[in-house]
């Protein structure tokens, strides 16, 4: 929630004013955690051929 709000343009001061239990270090920890999670792994997606394997399969199950 904290990272999402900062990403949408809410400032740290606004977050602190909105929640009296939140501290500046809480916000910084949330940002550090989000940065760490984004660097954790890289996912390589396989590409699918556009024809043969999906012929005859319902459109609902086709990734195209």
Give pLDDT, residue 57.
52
Q: Determine contact, residues 27/2, Cβ cutoff 8 Å.
A: yes
For residue 6, what are the contacts with CB-CB under 8 A and spacing of at least 6? 12, 15, 27, 31
Intervals of the chain under pLDDT 50: 62
Residue range 1-18, pLDDT digits in tens: 999 999 999 999 999 999
Give pLDDT, residue 39.
79
């Amino acid at each position: 929630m904290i990272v999402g709000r900062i990403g949408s343009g809410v400032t740290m001061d606004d977050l602190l004013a909105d929640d009296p239990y939140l501290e500046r270090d809480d916000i910084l920890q949330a940002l550090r955690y989000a940065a760490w999670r984004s660097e954790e792994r890289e996912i390589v997606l396989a590409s699918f051929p556009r024809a043969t394997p999906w012929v005859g399969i319902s459109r609902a199950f086709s990734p195209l």
